[in-house]
C-alpha cells in the first residue's frame, strides 16, 4: 500500500467562505503549489476540505494542477454512515468518491460538540469512508489538557474504537489521523511542541502496528499555523491548518518550511511572508 509524501498540508474551510471565495482561495493555493519546490519535488501534498457545494469546483481547480500524483487532494467535511437510502440531507461516501474526492473528514470536535456525534458515529463513518475507497481524515484529541502519556492513551483508544467496525468487516486502506487536542482548538497558541511530539510519536508507532492501514499518516491540528512545522516536523507527517490558512500566503510560508526541512531553497513564487507578530496569534482553529 503506497504512502503519502513526507508532509501533508491542508485545511478545512468549514462554513467560513462563500462559494465564490472558496474557489478564489483554491485557485490562489493551486497557483502557489504549481511552482513551489516542496510540492513539485514531492516533499509535500496539499489537501482541502471545502463545503459540500464547493467540492466540484475545488476538484476542477486542483484536478488541473500539474505535478506529481497526489499533489493535491480534495475531501468532504463529513459523510453519512450509510451508503445510500432515505437519508435526507446526507452525503454518502460513494457519492463523494464518484465526484473524485479522496478524503472524508470524520469526528471533528465541532461535530461532536454541536451535532452530538459520539464514538459510535465516528466508528460507523470511518467504515463508510473505507468502503467507498476514501481516506478517512480522522480527528482525535483529548478534551482537557493533561500529561502527554494520558493524552496519547486516550487518542489511541479513540483510534482503535474508530477502526473497530472496519477491522471486523475486513476493510483496509490508508488513514490520516489528525491529532487535535480539543482544548487547543481556537486557543491563542497551539499545544506545546513537547506535548505534540510525544502524542504524535505514540500515534505513529501505534499506526505502524496496523498492517491493514499501512502507509497512513499522523498530522497535527489545533491552532496550527506558520512556524510550527519547523519545531515538530520530526514527529508529525504534516499539519491541518486553522484560520491562518485563509490567507494563501500562510500556506506558502508553511510550504517554505517543508522545503527548508527537506533541504531545498524555496522559490520566489512559492515564498510566503507572514508577519512575525501574527504567528501564534489568537483566533485560529481547525
| Position 286 confidence tier, pLDDT thresholds 50, 70, 90 | low
Residues 211-222 have pLDDT tens digits of: 999 999 999 998
Catalytic residue, from 180, 182, 195, 213: name it.
Answer: 180
| Position 66 confidence tier, pLDDT thresholds 50, 70, 90 | low
DSSP string, 75-93: EES---SSSSSS-TT---H
Residues 110-141 have pLDDT tens digits of: 999 999 999 999 999 999 999 999 999 999 99
Mean pLDDT (whole number) for 95-103: 97
> What's the pLDDT score for residue 69?
52
Q: Is 234 a catalytic residue?
A: no
| Position 71 confidence tier, pLDDT thresholds 50, 70, 90 | confident
Query: Where do runs of H (alpha helix) occur along 19-147?
Result: 19-35, 37-40, 55-63, 93-99, 109-115, 119-131
Mean pLDDT of the chain: 90
> What's the pLDDT score for residue 234?
96
Is pLDDT above 50 for 40? yes
Is pLDDT above 90 for 174? yes
| Position 272 confidence tier, pLDDT thresholds 50, 70, 90 | very low
183 contact partners, CB below 8 Å, separation of at least 6 = 142, 143, 144, 145
| Position 155 confidence tier, pLDDT thresholds 50, 70, 90 | very high
Mean pLDDT (whole number) for 166-191: 91
Catalytic residue, from 102, 105, 108, 213: name it.
Answer: 108
CA 23 to CA 43: how far, in whole Å?
Answer: 25
- Asked whether the whole model's pTM tops 0.85, one would answer yes
Is pLDDT above 50 for 279? no
> What's the pLDDT score for residue 266?
57
| Position 225 confidence tier, pLDDT thresholds 50, 70, 90 | confident
> What's the pLDDT score for residue 190?
81
Is pLDDT above 90 for 57? yes
Percent residues over pLDDT 90 in the chain: 81
Query: Any idea which architecture 7-278 has in CATH?
Result: Alpha-Beta Barrel (3.20)
| Position 268 confidence tier, pLDDT thresholds 50, 70, 90 | very low
Residues 229-258 have pLDDT tens digits of: 999 999 999 999 988 899 999 999 999 999
Q: Is 108 a catalytic residue?
A: yes
Is pLDDT above 80 for 173? yes
> What's the pLDDT score for residue 265?
61
> What's the pLDDT score for residue 67?
53
Q: What angle do CA 153, 157, 162 make, to 5 degrees?
A: 150
Between the CA of residue 34 and those of 16, 68, 186, 267, what are the distances in Å?
Answer: 25, 10, 30, 11
Is pLDDT above 70 for 2? no
Place of cell 457545494: 53
Amino acid at each position: 500500500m503506497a504512502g503519502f509524501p513526507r508532509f501533508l498540508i491542508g485545511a478545512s474551510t468549514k462554513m467560513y467562505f462563500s462559494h465564490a471565495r472558496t474557489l478564489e482561495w483554491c485557485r490562489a493555493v493551486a497557483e502557489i503549489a504549481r511552482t513551489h519546490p516542496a510540492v513539485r519535488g514531492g516533499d509535500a501534498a496539499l489537501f482541502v476540505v471545502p463545503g459540500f457545494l464547493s467540492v466540484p469546483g475545488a476538484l476542477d481547480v486542483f484536478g488541473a494542477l500539474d505535478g506529481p500524483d497526489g499533489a493535491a487532494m480534495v475531501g468532504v467535511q463529513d459523510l453519512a454512515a450509510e451508503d445510500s437510502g432515505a437519508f435526507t440531507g446526507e452525503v454518502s461516501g460513494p457519492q463523494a468518491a464518484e465526484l473524485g474526492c479522496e478524503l472524508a473528514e470524520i469526528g471533528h470536535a465541532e461535530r461532536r460538540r454541536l451535532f452530538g456525534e459520539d464514538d459510535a458515529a465516528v466508528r460507523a463513518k470511518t467504515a463508510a469512508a473505507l468502503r467507498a475507497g476514501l481516506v478517512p481524515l480522522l480527528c482525535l484529541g483529548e478534551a482537557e489538557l493533561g500529561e502527554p502519556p494520558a493524552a496519547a492513551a486516550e487518542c489511541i483508544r479513540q483510534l482503535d474504537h474508530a477502526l473497530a467496525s472496519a477491522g471486523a468487516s475486513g476493510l483496509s486502506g490508508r488513514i490520516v489521523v489528525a491529532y487535535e487536542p480539543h482544548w487547543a482548538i481556537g486557543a491563542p497558541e497551539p499545544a506545546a511542541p513537547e506535548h505534540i511530539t510525544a502524542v504524535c510519536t505514540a500515534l505513529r508507532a501505534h499506526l505502524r502496528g496496523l498492517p491493514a492501514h499501512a502507509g497512513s499518516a499522523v498530522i497535527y491540528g489545533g491552532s496550527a499555523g506558520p512556524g510550527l512545522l519547523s519545531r515538530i516536523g520530526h514527529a508529525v507527517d504534516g499539519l491541518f491548518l486553522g484560520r491562518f490558512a485563509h490567507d494563501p500566503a500562510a500556506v506558502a510560508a508553511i510550504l517554505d518550511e517543508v522545503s527548508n526541512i527537506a533541504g531545498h531553497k524555496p522559490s520566489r513564487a512559492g515564498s510566503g511572508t507572514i508577519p512575525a507578530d501574527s504567528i501564534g496569534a489568537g483566533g485560529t482553529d481547525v
